[in-house]
Chains A and B, each alone.
Chain A
């Protein structure tokens, strides 16, 4: 069958769609890429200021300072037997004057708790947990190290999910600040010093800070610590490194500079515990619970007319393994976008509402238009432009302009992000790694973006249909150890 004959019936629809959308889609991509570029420029300004202050920051003094507020690291763990002991050891060894680790064993079916008990010589205590925030299930028991000095608390509970486990850990925490950390996150030794600094600088107003989460694939890990930073050999994680740099590091730094940060990653965020209690902890019904929490804090503080700050700390602090296969990546991206939709919809009353300041007037509208709707518009462009070309409805000049604005400009934005990051932090010491990430910034546009756009639309659709929340399983490959072994 002739291809033209197959496409012919669509001619009318495609003609109408192209007339209606060709200019808006071009303008859309122009604005989205320009807004990213502006965020990156703002982030660059922030990095310069940060690096200037760094040598006078008094980090060494902070290590022994009584002014540093105590931190409870909250670690929800479900079937984390393989990595829980080195993770907790690394967290206990973090440089910080006063911190404790609260591990919540969320009804693991493997020997997560047994390994903890053996490694840290835990004994059961009759410690009751206050019900500061509501929780779904019963706590089974509470354990602490026999020496009474190692600041570790392990709580066993029936399985009820990560969010509820975090709420239990908020109740179990005894320090004024709480850091939510994934059990498989790898933290830099100074992670707490770095992320808690805004609290020490402005203890009255700072209510939450977020740390950078970077992709750890390809890095060498020893005893729960990154000892050598390398790019992974596989292209899928390599592209995600570029994506994390642009969206998570530069994007969020820019939003923070603007005083409009609305998302702190669940993989590493630090919060004032009393504020979490005021907002009654995390929403166990939300699939985007980290985003939902920060939005709820903003709404709560703005309604109470309190002067507050939510900050993003750009210095690298936390590392996590990103999906290395398409199945896991699809599940993650569907979940993220569904969470984004549900939270934006829940807080739609704040959009363009001057009562919520920059959050309502800038950040939320931007997220609606340039985060939520972006994949649908991208897919529309990817389908319509080739179809229009095939039907002779689009001239080559327009098609080229579309490619330049949507993809060429995006590559320029990504390269700018990488240049800013490299000049500020210089995390990849080898030229080969830098070259690999440069290539990945181009490769990202050849299939990866379109595929993730499709998955994000799937997630949005699932949210619209209000189907069952599915977290999926994050299959991890582990990290190469210094001896070549696996963590």
Chain B
């Protein structure tokens, strides 16, 4: 029931539900509910929610929650998330790294600058490069060499 309520809160963009969603992300005993609440927070949240979401991308949190929080940071789209997301580009969970790279693109110029600044040959480079290429294609700038 909590899971369904969290899902609907996000899709319905019920902004007033944000405080309750933050509680669910932080403390619900069911990891699935936490992940759903994080995704919903991505839809209804703002700058105030970046610290909550960023905290749960940390190593040791459930895999699905980390990924959902990274994606939610992209949805919120606030530049405050840039450093957290950049830190995830080299994560051994490569899907998380890819989600973080795509989320950085969603942040706009701040995120793009972070991606561009990733040095070649580092563990963070593949995810950054892939996301940048797709972003440039979408912007009509053509493929990279």
Residues of chain A touching chain B, judged by Cβ–Cβ distance below 8 Å, are: 66-67, 123-132, 144-149, 203-204, 274
Contact = CB atoms under 8 A, between A and B. Distances in A.
Given A67-B11, A147-B137, A125 B94 contact: no
Closest 5 CB pairs of A and B: A148-B137, A148-B138, A130-B95, A130-B94, A127-B130
B59 interface: no
Contacts of B143: 123-125, 146
13 contacts: A66-B11, A125-B130, A125-B143, A126-B126, A126-B129, A126-B133, A127-B130, A127-B134, A128-B98, A129-B94, A144-B137, A145-B137, A274-B64
Contacts, number: 55
Given A125-B134, A148-B138, A203-B4, 5 more contacts: A124-B143, A145-B137, A148-B139, A149-B138, A204-B32
Contact of B94 (A126, A128, A147, A149): A128
B110 interface: no
B125 to A, nearest CB: 9
A203 B126 contact: no
B40 to A, nearest CB: 12
Given A67-B11, A124-B143, A203-B4, A132 B95 contact: yes
Interface residues of B, number: 25
B51 interface: no
| Interface majority SS (helix, strand, loop, mixed), chain A | loop
A131 B96 CA distance: 11
B54 to A, nearest CB: 21
A360 to B, nearest CB: 25
Most B CB contacts (10 A, CB to CB) among A123, A129, A148 go to A148
A144 B134 contact: yes
Interface in B1-50: 3-4, 7, 11, 32
A137 B95 CA distance: 19
Nearest to B137: A148
Most B CB contacts (10 A, CB to CB) among A67, A124, A149, A204 go to A204
B127 interface: yes
Interface in B105-137: 126-127, 129-130, 133-134, 136-137
B98 A126 contact: no
A146 B127 CA distance: 19
Contacts of B94: 128-131
A148 to B, nearest CB: 3
A146 B93 CA distance: 28
Given A146-B143, A274-B64, A128 B127 contact: yes
B60 interface: no
B142 interface: yes
A132 B133 CA distance: 22
